[in-house]
């Protein structure tokens, strides 16, 4: 028997690559219908996951993947909000 713990995996809605929750950025549609980035992963609501890469974020928004995953079109400021978050974290 192995003692390896189960790590829940999510996949990026843009490139479909699987990763752990900590490696991905969560985007949430909150209970009030607002769509925003959720770096803590704790905001209640419907979530979608994205790689912390500007390319995936752009694909998700421009190809309406985020809209489909969350059931609502994100605001125009979301791309800038996420881009700022990714830059804060710095390169790997």
> Is 14 one of the binding residues for Zn ion (CB under 5 A)?
yes
To the nearest whole angstrom, how small is the minimum distance from the Cβ of residue 29 to Zn ion? 19
Site string for Zn ion, 17-56 (x = CB under 5 A): ----------------------------------x----x
Q: Is 15 in the site for Zn ion (CB under 5 A)?
A: yes
| Minimum CB distance to Zn ion, residue 9 (Å) | 13
Q: Which helix (H) or strand (E) holds 47?
A: strand 45-51
Contact 10, 56 (CB under 8 A): no
The rounded distance, in Å, linking the Cα atoms of 28 and 45 is: 6
Tokens (6 digits) for 1: 């028997």
């Amino acid at each position: 028997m192995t003692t390896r713990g189960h790590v829940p995996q999510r996949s990026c809605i843009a490139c479909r690559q699987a990763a752990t929750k900590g490696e991905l950025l969560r985007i949430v549609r909150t209970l009030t219908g607002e769509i925003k980035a959720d770096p803590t992963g704790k905001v209640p609501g419907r979530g979608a996951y994205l790689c912390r890469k500007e390319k995936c974020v752009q694909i998700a928004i421009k190809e309406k993947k985020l809209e489909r995953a969350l059931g609502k079109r994100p605001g125009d400021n979301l791309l800038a909000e996420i881009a700022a978050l990714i830059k804060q974290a710095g390169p790997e």
